[in-house]
Amino acid sequence: MPRHIALLLKLLLLGLLTGQAFRITLLLLHRDQWHDATRADVLTALFDRGLIFDLYVISWMLIVPALVLGVAHALGGTSQRAWAEARTRSWFDSTVCVIVGDHGQAFDPLHEVPIAYHHVPLVIHAPALVEPGKLSGYGTQVGLPETILALLRVPHVNNTLGKDLIAGGHAAAYFCADHRICAINDRGYLIRDRDVVRLYDHRARGTHDLSMEQPALRDSLMRHAASMVQATQAIVTRKLAGDDGMRPLVP
């Protein structure tokens, strides 16, 4: 059975069970009203209300996933046709195609700043320039320009804070969420919220603050994040990046 059909059937069953649970809840909540009603009246009212709830839940549980699956299927077919068409063009072998997410989603709000919200997909598709593989390590969107220019072998002066992600990337990554500054590496996840600094063991999904127990790691991550922020401010203030700071070297 196709996976999407199995998913819809599971959602249908869940909707029916939810409706039955709603019926039982109504039965318990309105038991004090039974003395003036016959059993038939109670069952009729219970069935009608439960049926309405059944239809409401099932409609949302089926329509929304069906729309999502339909859109995903349409996008999948469209992207396949687009790639097939691109491969026939003369520019394809010298082109780097990059697909990157803007942000993730707070599916797992374990910490004040969910890591999943800042963990985004990155796909680099350039068969003539890149060997198939999966990269591991830490990097941010700041590294994309340097990575792309390195793949295309474009001579340039890199005045940004990015590094070639394919060549190794960073040992840690930093990012911000409103007023919070965060830094993460293999050993810990640091969150600075104004004057409060917390350190977590994200690999063990720990929520205990380790900032006082591991001061060396705390200070190392804090220096990394603070230096990146300060360097960024200096680059912007002195106009060392952008149109004047990062351009190909023309002989």
Can you tell me the mean pLDDT for 49-61? 54
Break the chain into its structural domains and give their ranges. Answer: 3-74, 92-237
Question: Tokens 């912007």 belong to which residue?
Answer: 236
Cβ neighbour number for residue 88 with a 10 Å cutoff: 7
Q: H helices within the chain, ranges in order?
A: 3-29, 39-87, 115-118, 144-152, 215-237
CB 228, CB 222: distance < 8 Å: no
Task: List, as one string, the DSSP characters of 120-160.
Answer: --EEEE-TTT--S----SB--GGGHHHHHHHHHT--B---S
Fold classification of 92-237 is: Arylsulfatase, C-terminal domain (3.30.1120)
Distance (Å, rounded) from C-alpha 158 to C-alpha 146? 7
The pLDDT-based confidence of 69 (bands split at 50, 70, 90) is: low
The pLDDT-based confidence of 128 (bands split at 50, 70, 90) is: confident
Averaged pLDDT of the chain: 78
- For residue range 184-222, list pLDDT tens digits in order: 999 999 999 989 999 999 999 999 999 999 999 999 999
Q: What is the DSSP letter of 94?
A: G
- Phi-psi domain of 137 (left: phi exceeds 0; alpha: psi -120 through 50; beta: other): left
